[in-house]
Protein backbone atom coordinates (compact mmCIF):
# COMPACT_ATOMS: atom_id res chain seq x y z
CA UNK A 1 0.00 0.00 0.00
CA UNK A 2 1.49 3.36 -1.03
CA UNK A 3 1.80 5.91 1.78
CA UNK A 4 -0.76 8.69 1.95
CA UNK A 5 -0.32 12.29 3.02
CA UNK A 6 -2.60 15.09 4.07
CA UNK A 7 -4.04 16.64 7.24
CA UNK A 8 -7.41 15.26 8.29
CA UNK A 9 -9.80 16.36 11.04
CA UNK A 10 -12.27 13.75 12.30
CA UNK A 11 -15.26 14.94 14.39
CA UNK A 12 -17.39 12.20 15.98
CA UNK A 13 -18.97 11.95 19.41
CA UNK A 14 -18.46 8.15 19.30
CA UNK A 15 -15.03 8.39 20.88
CA UNK A 16 -13.97 4.79 20.33
CA UNK A 17 -14.80 4.85 16.61
CA UNK A 18 -13.16 8.27 16.18
CA UNK A 19 -9.99 7.13 17.97
CA UNK A 20 -9.77 3.86 16.03
CA UNK A 21 -10.31 5.65 12.70
CA UNK A 22 -7.62 8.24 13.43
CA UNK A 23 -5.13 5.54 14.45
CA UNK A 24 -5.82 3.59 11.26
CA UNK A 25 -5.44 6.71 9.12
CA UNK A 26 -2.12 7.56 10.77
CA UNK A 27 -0.85 4.06 10.04
CA UNK A 28 -1.25 4.66 6.28
CA UNK A 29 0.44 8.07 6.40
CA UNK A 30 -2.28 10.64 7.07
CA UNK A 31 -1.84 13.30 9.75
CA UNK A 32 -5.17 12.68 11.48
CA UNK A 33 -6.58 14.68 14.38
CA UNK A 34 -9.72 13.53 16.18
CA UNK A 35 -12.14 15.42 18.44
CA UNK A 36 -15.41 14.35 20.05
CA UNK A 37 -16.97 17.80 20.49
CA UNK A 38 -18.21 19.82 17.47
CA UNK A 39 -17.13 23.08 19.15
CA UNK A 40 -13.61 21.70 19.61
CA UNK A 41 -13.61 20.67 15.96
CA UNK A 42 -14.50 24.17 14.76
CA UNK A 43 -11.82 25.61 17.05
CA UNK A 44 -9.30 23.21 15.49
CA UNK A 45 -10.34 24.37 12.01
CA UNK A 46 -9.80 28.00 13.01
CA UNK A 47 -6.26 27.34 14.21
CA UNK A 48 -5.16 24.53 11.89
CA UNK A 49 -4.67 24.02 8.18
CA UNK A 50 -6.62 20.87 7.32
CA UNK A 51 -7.15 19.30 3.91
CA UNK A 52 -10.21 17.18 4.71
CA UNK A 53 -12.94 17.41 7.34
CA UNK A 54 -14.66 14.09 8.23
CA UNK A 55 -17.71 14.68 10.36
CA UNK A 56 -20.38 12.41 11.81
CA UNK A 57 -23.86 13.38 10.65
CA UNK A 58 -25.78 13.25 13.94
CA UNK A 59 -24.21 14.66 17.11
CA UNK A 60 -25.63 16.27 20.26
CA UNK A 61 -26.75 19.83 19.60
CA UNK A 62 -25.77 19.94 15.94
CA UNK A 63 -25.24 17.87 12.82
CA UNK A 64 -22.43 17.27 10.36
CA UNK A 65 -24.05 19.38 7.66
CA UNK A 66 -23.95 22.49 9.85
CA UNK A 67 -20.33 21.72 10.78
CA UNK A 68 -19.41 21.41 7.12
CA UNK A 69 -21.03 24.74 6.28
CA UNK A 70 -19.14 26.47 9.08
CA UNK A 71 -15.92 24.73 8.02
CA UNK A 72 -16.31 25.95 4.43
CA UNK A 73 -16.72 29.50 5.72
CA UNK A 74 -13.31 29.16 7.40
CA UNK A 75 -11.69 27.48 4.38
CA UNK A 76 -13.64 27.42 1.07
CA UNK A 77 -11.16 24.87 -0.34
CA UNK A 78 -11.70 22.40 2.49
CA UNK A 79 -13.03 19.02 1.32
CA UNK A 80 -15.83 17.65 3.49
CA UNK A 81 -16.99 14.08 4.08
CA UNK A 82 -19.99 12.92 6.10
CA UNK A 83 -20.16 9.70 8.15
CA UNK A 84 -23.64 8.42 8.85
CA UNK A 85 -25.43 5.35 10.08
CA UNK A 86 -28.69 6.74 8.70
CA UNK A 87 -28.00 6.48 4.99
CA UNK A 88 -30.68 7.48 2.55
CA UNK A 89 -31.00 9.25 -0.77
CA UNK A 90 -32.31 12.31 1.08
CA UNK A 91 -29.27 12.25 3.38
CA UNK A 92 -26.98 12.18 0.35
CA UNK A 93 -28.84 15.06 -1.30
CA UNK A 94 -28.64 17.20 1.82
CA UNK A 95 -24.96 16.40 2.28
CA UNK A 96 -24.16 17.27 -1.35
CA UNK A 97 -26.16 20.49 -1.14
CA UNK A 98 -24.11 21.47 1.89
CA UNK A 99 -20.95 21.02 -0.18
CA UNK A 100 -19.89 17.55 0.94
CA UNK A 101 -17.66 15.70 -1.50
CA UNK A 102 -19.10 12.31 -0.52
CA UNK A 103 -20.37 10.33 2.45
CA UNK A 104 -19.69 6.92 3.97
CA UNK A 105 -22.14 4.62 5.70
CA UNK A 106 -21.44 3.16 9.12
CA UNK A 107 -20.23 0.52 9.71
CA UNK A 108 -17.47 0.63 7.12
CA UNK A 109 -14.15 -0.96 6.27
CA UNK A 110 -10.99 1.13 6.27
CA UNK A 111 -10.49 0.39 2.57
CA UNK A 112 -13.86 2.00 1.80
CA UNK A 113 -12.80 5.17 3.57
CA UNK A 114 -9.35 5.20 1.97
CA UNK A 115 -10.85 4.95 -1.52
CA UNK A 116 -12.98 8.03 -0.82
CA UNK A 117 -10.09 9.88 0.84
CA UNK A 118 -7.79 9.30 -2.13
CA UNK A 119 -10.32 10.99 -4.41
CA UNK A 120 -10.96 13.72 -1.86
CA UNK A 121 -7.23 14.51 -1.56
CA UNK A 122 -7.03 14.86 -5.34
CA UNK A 123 -9.95 17.31 -5.23
CA UNK A 124 -8.22 19.22 -2.44
CA UNK A 125 -4.99 19.36 -4.45
CA UNK A 126 -6.83 20.71 -7.48
CA UNK A 127 -8.69 23.31 -5.43
CA UNK A 128 -5.49 24.59 -3.82
CA UNK A 129 -3.71 24.63 -7.18
CA UNK A 130 -6.62 26.47 -8.80
CA UNK A 131 -6.59 29.05 -6.01
CA UNK A 132 -2.85 29.54 -6.44
CA UNK A 133 -3.21 29.97 -10.20
CA UNK A 134 -6.15 32.37 -9.80
CA UNK A 135 -4.05 34.50 -7.50
CA UNK A 136 -1.17 34.33 -9.95
CA UNK A 137 -3.42 35.34 -12.86
CA UNK A 138 -4.68 38.27 -10.78
CA UNK A 139 -1.07 39.31 -10.19
CA UNK A 140 -0.09 39.01 -13.85
CA UNK A 141 0.83 42.27 -15.53
CA UNK A 142 -0.92 42.96 -18.85
CA UNK A 143 -0.31 45.90 -21.15
CA UNK A 144 -4.07 46.42 -21.14
CA UNK A 145 -7.17 44.58 -19.95
CA UNK A 146 -7.84 43.64 -23.58
CA UNK A 147 -4.87 41.27 -23.55
CA UNK A 148 -5.77 39.36 -20.40
CA UNK A 149 -5.77 35.56 -20.35
CA UNK A 150 -9.39 34.51 -19.83
CA UNK A 151 -10.72 31.13 -18.74
CA UNK A 152 -10.77 28.61 -15.91
CA UNK A 153 -10.58 25.38 -17.92
CA UNK A 154 -7.89 22.81 -17.18
CA UNK A 155 -6.14 23.76 -20.43
CA UNK A 156 -5.98 27.45 -19.49
CA UNK A 157 -4.76 26.62 -15.99
CA UNK A 158 -1.96 24.56 -17.50
CA UNK A 159 -0.97 27.43 -19.80
CA UNK A 160 -0.94 29.89 -16.90
CA UNK A 161 1.17 27.47 -14.87
CA UNK A 162 3.70 27.30 -17.72
CA UNK A 163 3.80 31.10 -18.01
CA UNK A 164 4.41 31.34 -14.27
CA UNK A 165 7.41 29.02 -14.58
CA UNK A 166 9.03 30.37 -17.75
CA UNK A 167 8.37 34.13 -17.50
CA UNK A 168 11.15 34.84 -14.95
CA UNK A 169 13.74 33.01 -17.11
CA UNK A 170 15.46 33.75 -20.42
CA UNK A 171 14.55 30.35 -21.89
CA UNK A 172 13.48 30.17 -25.52
CA UNK A 173 9.77 29.32 -25.79
CA UNK A 174 7.87 27.69 -28.65
CA UNK A 175 4.15 28.42 -28.62
CA UNK A 176 2.11 25.91 -30.63
CA UNK A 177 -1.50 26.30 -31.65
CA UNK A 178 -3.96 26.78 -34.48
CA UNK A 179 -4.51 30.24 -35.90
CA UNK A 180 -6.60 32.39 -33.61
CA UNK A 181 -5.88 30.49 -30.38
CA UNK A 182 -3.90 33.34 -28.79
CA UNK A 183 -0.23 32.62 -29.42
CA UNK A 184 0.74 36.29 -29.40
CA UNK A 185 -1.32 36.78 -26.23
CA UNK A 186 0.84 34.16 -24.48
CA UNK A 187 4.02 35.81 -25.79
CA UNK A 188 2.86 39.18 -24.44
CA UNK A 189 2.08 37.60 -21.05
CA UNK A 190 5.52 35.97 -20.85
CA UNK A 191 7.32 39.19 -21.77
CA UNK A 192 5.11 41.40 -19.59
CA UNK A 193 5.89 39.31 -16.51
CA UNK A 194 9.59 38.81 -17.15
CA UNK A 195 12.62 40.82 -15.99
CA UNK A 196 12.72 42.18 -19.59
CA UNK A 197 9.29 43.84 -19.40
CA UNK A 198 10.86 47.32 -19.28
CA UNK A 199 12.41 46.70 -22.71
CA UNK A 200 10.67 46.31 -26.10
CA UNK A 201 8.55 43.38 -27.23
CA UNK A 202 9.04 43.23 -31.01
CA UNK A 203 6.88 40.99 -33.19
CA UNK A 204 7.33 39.78 -36.75
CA UNK A 205 5.28 37.39 -38.87
CA UNK A 206 7.48 35.26 -41.11
CA UNK A 207 4.58 34.50 -43.47
CA UNK A 208 4.12 38.12 -44.52
CA UNK A 209 7.57 38.84 -46.04
CA UNK A 210 9.77 37.37 -48.76
CA UNK A 211 13.09 35.86 -47.67
CA UNK A 212 15.26 38.87 -48.61
CA UNK A 213 12.93 41.36 -46.95
CA UNK A 214 12.55 39.17 -43.86
CA UNK A 215 16.32 38.95 -43.44
CA UNK A 216 16.63 42.72 -43.69
CA UNK A 217 13.80 43.20 -41.19
CA UNK A 218 15.35 40.80 -38.69
CA UNK A 219 19.02 41.70 -38.95
CA UNK A 220 19.07 45.11 -40.63
CA UNK A 221 21.16 46.18 -43.65
CA UNK A 222 23.97 48.52 -44.61
CA UNK A 223 23.71 51.31 -47.13
CA UNK A 224 24.08 49.92 -50.66
CA UNK A 225 23.52 46.30 -49.58
CA UNK A 226 20.89 45.95 -52.30
CA UNK A 227 18.99 48.09 -54.79
CA UNK A 228 17.02 50.72 -52.91
CA UNK A 229 19.12 50.49 -49.74
CA UNK A 230 20.04 54.19 -49.74
CA UNK A 231 20.83 54.22 -46.03
CA UNK A 232 21.69 51.85 -43.23
CA UNK A 233 18.82 50.40 -41.21
CA UNK A 234 18.88 48.58 -37.87
CA UNK A 235 17.09 45.23 -37.73
CA UNK A 236 14.46 44.16 -35.28
CA UNK A 237 17.02 42.29 -33.19
CA UNK A 238 18.70 45.64 -32.57
CA UNK A 239 15.36 47.32 -31.85
CA UNK A 240 14.51 44.56 -29.35
CA UNK A 241 17.87 44.80 -27.54
CA UNK A 242 17.39 43.79 -23.93
CA UNK A 243 13.81 42.75 -24.61
CA UNK A 244 11.91 39.99 -26.38
CA UNK A 245 11.49 39.02 -30.03
CA UNK A 246 8.25 37.24 -30.96
CA UNK A 247 8.77 35.32 -34.21
CA UNK A 248 5.34 34.27 -35.44
CA UNK A 249 4.78 31.55 -38.07
CA UNK A 250 8.40 30.47 -37.73
CA UNK A 251 7.73 27.40 -39.92
CA UNK A 252 7.41 29.75 -42.91
CA UNK A 253 11.01 30.91 -42.58
CA UNK A 254 13.26 29.98 -45.53
CA UNK A 255 16.09 27.46 -44.85
CA UNK A 256 18.84 30.08 -45.28
CA UNK A 257 17.29 32.32 -42.65
CA UNK A 258 16.72 29.37 -40.36
CA UNK A 259 20.48 28.90 -40.13
CA UNK A 260 20.98 32.57 -39.24
CA UNK A 261 18.26 32.46 -36.60
CA UNK A 262 19.88 29.34 -35.14
CA UNK A 263 23.17 31.19 -34.77
CA UNK A 264 21.48 34.03 -32.89
CA UNK A 265 19.89 31.51 -30.55
CA UNK A 266 23.18 29.65 -30.04
CA UNK A 267 25.55 32.53 -29.31
CA UNK A 268 23.71 35.80 -30.02
CA UNK A 269 25.80 36.69 -33.09
CA UNK A 270 24.47 38.01 -36.39
CA UNK A 271 25.39 40.39 -39.22
CA UNK A 272 23.45 43.06 -41.00
CA UNK A 273 22.84 42.38 -44.69
CA UNK A 274 25.85 43.68 -46.60
CA UNK A 275 28.07 43.95 -43.52
CA UNK A 276 31.14 42.02 -42.40
CA UNK A 277 30.90 43.27 -38.82
CA UNK A 278 29.58 40.92 -36.17
CA UNK A 279 26.89 42.17 -33.81
CA UNK A 280 25.65 40.51 -30.66
CA UNK A 281 22.01 40.46 -29.58
CA UNK A 282 20.78 40.32 -26.00
CA UNK A 283 17.25 39.27 -26.91
CA UNK A 284 14.94 36.55 -25.70
CA UNK A 285 13.17 34.68 -28.52
CA UNK A 286 9.60 33.40 -28.35
CA UNK A 287 8.57 31.59 -31.53
CA UNK A 288 5.13 30.44 -32.61
CA UNK A 289 3.74 28.09 -35.22
CA UNK A 290 0.40 26.66 -36.31
CA UNK A 291 2.14 23.74 -38.03
CA UNK A 292 3.69 20.55 -36.70
CA UNK A 293 7.41 21.30 -36.74
CA UNK A 294 8.08 17.57 -36.40
CA UNK A 295 6.32 17.03 -39.73
CA UNK A 296 8.18 19.98 -41.26
CA UNK A 297 11.49 18.47 -40.13
CA UNK A 298 10.55 15.10 -41.62
CA UNK A 299 9.66 16.81 -44.90
CA UNK A 300 13.07 18.58 -44.87
CA UNK A 301 11.42 22.00 -44.80
CA UNK A 302 12.64 22.88 -41.32
CA UNK A 303 16.06 22.41 -39.76
CA UNK A 304 16.14 19.76 -37.08
CA UNK A 305 18.82 21.59 -35.08
CA UNK A 306 16.73 24.78 -35.08
CA UNK A 307 13.66 22.82 -34.01
CA UNK A 308 15.51 21.39 -31.01
CA UNK A 309 16.83 24.84 -30.13
CA UNK A 310 13.37 26.42 -30.29
CA UNK A 311 11.63 23.58 -28.48
CA UNK A 312 13.33 24.22 -25.12
CA UNK A 313 9.98 25.07 -23.56
CA UNK A 314 6.81 24.29 -25.53
CA UNK A 315 3.38 25.69 -24.69
CA UNK A 316 0.50 24.14 -26.60
CA UNK A 317 -2.72 26.13 -26.97
CA UNK A 318 -5.97 24.17 -27.38
CA UNK A 319 -8.62 24.89 -29.99
CA UNK A 320 -11.58 26.83 -28.61
CA UNK A 321 -13.89 23.85 -29.21
CA UNK A 322 -11.74 21.88 -26.76
CA UNK A 323 -12.37 24.37 -23.95
CA UNK A 324 -16.01 25.26 -24.45
CA UNK A 325 -16.45 25.94 -20.74
CA UNK A 326 -14.41 29.14 -21.25
CA UNK A 327 -16.67 30.52 -24.00
CA UNK A 328 -19.13 32.44 -21.73
CA UNK A 329 -16.24 34.15 -19.91
CA UNK A 330 -14.54 34.93 -23.24
CA UNK A 331 -17.76 36.45 -24.60
CA UNK A 332 -18.14 38.63 -21.52
CA UNK A 333 -14.50 39.72 -21.79
CA UNK A 334 -14.69 40.51 -25.52
CA UNK A 335 -17.94 42.48 -25.17
CA UNK A 336 -16.40 44.50 -22.36
CA UNK A 337 -12.98 45.17 -23.90
CA UNK A 338 -13.97 45.46 -27.58
CA UNK A 339 -17.28 47.33 -27.58
CA UNK A 340 -18.69 48.94 -30.72
CA UNK A 341 -20.63 51.55 -28.77
CA UNK A 342 -20.75 53.32 -25.44
CA UNK A 343 -23.31 51.02 -23.83
CA UNK A 344 -22.51 47.39 -22.92
CA UNK A 345 -24.15 44.49 -24.77
CA UNK A 346 -25.47 41.23 -23.36
CA UNK A 347 -26.20 37.89 -25.04
CA UNK A 348 -29.55 36.18 -24.61
CA UNK A 349 -29.74 32.53 -23.58
CA UNK A 350 -30.51 31.05 -27.03
CA UNK A 351 -27.69 32.99 -28.70
CA UNK A 352 -25.28 32.01 -25.93
CA UNK A 353 -26.24 28.35 -26.33
CA UNK A 354 -25.58 28.60 -30.08
CA UNK A 355 -22.20 30.26 -29.49
CA UNK A 356 -21.22 27.55 -27.00
CA UNK A 357 -22.31 24.79 -29.40
CA UNK A 358 -20.30 26.00 -32.40
CA UNK A 359 -16.91 24.44 -33.18
CA UNK A 360 -15.09 27.74 -33.93
CA UNK A 361 -12.62 26.73 -36.67
CA UNK A 362 -11.19 30.25 -36.41
CA UNK A 363 -10.95 29.96 -32.62
CA UNK A 364 -10.97 33.05 -30.40
CA UNK A 365 -10.23 35.37 -33.32
CA UNK A 366 -13.38 34.17 -35.08
CA UNK A 367 -15.39 34.56 -31.86
CA UNK A 368 -14.19 38.18 -31.54
CA UNK A 369 -15.19 38.92 -35.15
CA UNK A 370 -18.64 37.32 -34.73
CA UNK A 371 -19.29 39.39 -31.60
CA UNK A 372 -18.18 42.59 -33.33
CA UNK A 373 -20.61 41.86 -36.18
CA UNK A 374 -23.40 41.00 -33.73
CA UNK A 375 -22.97 44.26 -31.81
CA UNK A 376 -23.29 46.22 -35.04
CA UNK A 377 -26.43 44.36 -36.17
CA UNK A 378 -28.18 44.05 -32.79
CA UNK A 379 -31.40 45.95 -32.15
CA UNK A 380 -30.92 47.43 -28.71
CA UNK A 381 -28.27 46.10 -26.35
CA UNK A 382 -29.14 42.39 -26.46
CA UNK A 383 -27.52 40.04 -28.96
CA UNK A 384 -29.93 37.37 -30.19
CA UNK A 385 -29.69 34.52 -32.70
CA UNK A 386 -30.94 36.98 -35.36
CA UNK A 387 -27.60 38.78 -35.03
CA UNK A 388 -25.46 35.67 -35.57
CA UNK A 389 -24.30 34.35 -38.97
CA UNK A 390 -26.59 31.75 -40.57
CA UNK A 391 -23.62 29.46 -41.16
CA UNK A 392 -22.88 29.47 -37.43
CA UNK A 393 -26.47 28.70 -36.48
CA UNK A 394 -26.69 25.81 -38.96
CA UNK A 395 -23.40 24.30 -37.73
CA UNK A 396 -24.03 24.86 -34.02
CA UNK A 397 -25.20 22.05 -31.78
CA UNK A 398 -27.36 23.11 -28.81
CA UNK A 399 -25.16 23.26 -25.74
CA UNK A 400 -25.83 23.85 -22.04
CA UNK A 401 -24.48 27.13 -20.79
CA UNK A 402 -22.52 27.54 -17.58
CA UNK A 403 -21.19 31.03 -17.08
CA UNK A 404 -21.84 34.53 -15.90
CA UNK A 405 -23.76 35.42 -19.06
CA UNK A 406 -26.28 32.61 -18.70
CA UNK A 407 -29.71 33.48 -17.40
CA UNK A 408 -29.77 32.89 -13.64
CA UNK A 409 -32.59 30.43 -12.82
CA UNK A 410 -35.10 31.04 -10.11
CA UNK A 411 -34.44 29.01 -6.91
CA UNK A 412 -37.35 26.72 -7.70
CA UNK A 413 -35.65 25.74 -10.98
CA UNK A 414 -32.31 24.66 -9.51
CA UNK A 415 -33.30 21.00 -9.61
CA UNK A 416 -34.15 21.42 -13.29
CA UNK A 417 -30.72 22.91 -14.00
CA UNK A 418 -29.02 20.10 -12.04
CA UNK A 419 -31.01 17.44 -13.89
CA UNK A 420 -30.22 18.93 -17.29
CA UNK A 421 -26.54 19.22 -16.47
CA UNK A 422 -26.22 15.62 -15.27
CA UNK A 423 -28.22 14.39 -18.26
CA UNK A 424 -26.04 16.37 -20.68
CA UNK A 425 -22.79 15.11 -19.17
CA UNK A 426 -24.05 11.53 -19.36
CA UNK A 427 -25.05 12.07 -22.98
CA UNK A 428 -21.67 13.60 -23.90
CA UNK A 429 -19.90 10.63 -22.33
CA UNK A 430 -22.01 8.10 -24.22
CA UNK A 431 -23.77 6.93 -21.06
CA UNK A 432 -20.47 5.85 -19.48
CA UNK A 433 -21.04 6.67 -15.82
CA UNK A 434 -17.38 6.38 -14.81
CA UNK A 435 -16.38 9.04 -17.31
CA UNK A 436 -19.44 11.15 -16.52
CA UNK A 437 -18.67 11.09 -12.79
CA UNK A 438 -15.08 12.15 -13.50
CA UNK A 439 -16.32 15.03 -15.69
CA UNK A 440 -18.69 16.16 -12.94
CA UNK A 441 -15.97 15.84 -10.28
CA UNK A 442 -18.02 13.48 -8.12
CA UNK A 443 -17.88 9.82 -7.19
CA UNK A 444 -19.78 7.21 -9.19
CA UNK A 445 -21.89 6.44 -6.17
CA UNK A 446 -22.93 10.10 -5.96
CA UNK A 447 -23.75 10.09 -9.68
CA UNK A 448 -26.04 7.07 -9.22
CA UNK A 449 -27.85 8.90 -6.43
CA UNK A 450 -28.35 11.94 -8.70
CA UNK A 451 -29.69 9.66 -11.44
CA UNK A 452 -32.18 8.20 -8.95
CA UNK A 453 -33.07 11.64 -7.64
CA UNK A 454 -33.96 12.98 -11.08
CA UNK A 455 -35.52 9.76 -12.41
CA UNK A 456 -33.24 9.79 -15.43
CA UNK A 457 -34.08 6.16 -16.15
CA UNK A 458 -31.85 3.54 -17.73
CA UNK A 459 -28.92 4.96 -19.67
CA UNK A 460 -26.79 2.81 -21.94
CA UNK A 461 -23.39 2.38 -20.39
CA UNK A 462 -20.32 0.21 -20.42
CA UNK A 463 -19.88 0.23 -16.67
CA UNK A 464 -21.91 -1.08 -13.79
CA UNK A 465 -23.29 0.37 -10.60
CA UNK A 466 -21.16 -0.34 -7.56
CA UNK A 467 -22.63 -2.64 -4.99
CA UNK A 468 -22.55 -1.74 -1.32
CA UNK A 469 -22.33 -4.53 1.24
CA UNK A 470 -22.70 -3.49 4.89
CA UNK A 471 -19.69 -4.39 6.97
CA UNK A 472 -20.33 -5.79 10.39
Among the residue ranges 55-59, 272-276, 400-404, the one predicted with the least confidence is: 400-404
Of 360 and 136, the structure prediction assigns the larger pLDDT to: 360
Percent of the chain surpassing pLDDT 90: 52
Query: What does each C-alpha distance from 274 to 228, 278, 393 come to in angstroms?
Result: 13, 11, 55
For the segment 120-165, what is each residue's pLDDT rounded down to a tens digit? 999 998 888 878 777 776 777 777 788 888 988 889 989 988 998 9
145-316: CATH, from 3.90.1150.10, 3.40.50.300, 1.10.630.10, 3.50.50.60: 3.40.50.300
Is the per-residue pLDDT at 355 higher than 70?
yes
Of 370 and 96, the structure prediction assigns the larger pLDDT to: 370
Q: In whole numbers, what is the pLDDT of the chain averaged over residues? A: 85
Is the per-residue pLDDT at 310 higher than 90?
yes
Which pLDDT value is given to residue 472? 30
Domain boundaries, the chain: 7-131, 145-316, 320-395
Which pLDDT value is given to residue 95? 74
Burial of 326 (0-12, 13-18, 19+ CB in 10 A): buried
**Strand ranges of the sheet holding 201-205, from the earlier edge strand across to the other edge:** 201-205, 244-248, 284-289, 173-176, 313-316
Which pLDDT value is given to residue 415? 58
Burial of 112 (0-12, 13-18, 19+ CB in 10 A): middle
Q: Please state, in angstroms and rounded to a whole number, the distance separating the CA atoms of residues 55 and 267.
A: 61
Which pLDDT value is given to residue 100? 87
**CATH for 320-395?**
1.10.8.60
Q: Say which CATH superfamily domain 7-131 falls into.
A: Response regulator (3.40.50.2300)
For the segment 32-87, what is each residue's pLDDT rounded down to a tens digit? 999 999 889 889 998 888 999 999 888 888 888 888 889 998 888 899 998 887 66
Among the residue ranges 163-177, 205-219, 232-246, 405-419, the one predicted with the least confidence is: 405-419
Same fold: 7-131 with 145-316: yes
Is the per-residue pLDDT at 384 higher than 90?
yes
Amino acid sequence: MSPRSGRLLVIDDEVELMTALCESLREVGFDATGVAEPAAGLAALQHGDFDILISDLMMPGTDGIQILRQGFQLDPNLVGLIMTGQGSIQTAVEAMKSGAFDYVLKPFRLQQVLAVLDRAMEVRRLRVENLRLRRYVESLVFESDRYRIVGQSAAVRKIVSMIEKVAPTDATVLVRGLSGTGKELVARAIHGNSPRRGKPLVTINCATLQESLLESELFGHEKGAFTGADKSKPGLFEVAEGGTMFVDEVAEMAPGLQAKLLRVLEDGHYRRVGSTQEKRANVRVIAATNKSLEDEVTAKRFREDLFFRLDVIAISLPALKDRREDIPALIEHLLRTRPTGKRPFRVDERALSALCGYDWPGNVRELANVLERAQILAEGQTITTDDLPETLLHASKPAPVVGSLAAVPEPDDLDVVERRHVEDVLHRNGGNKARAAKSLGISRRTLYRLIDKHNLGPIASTDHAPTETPVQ
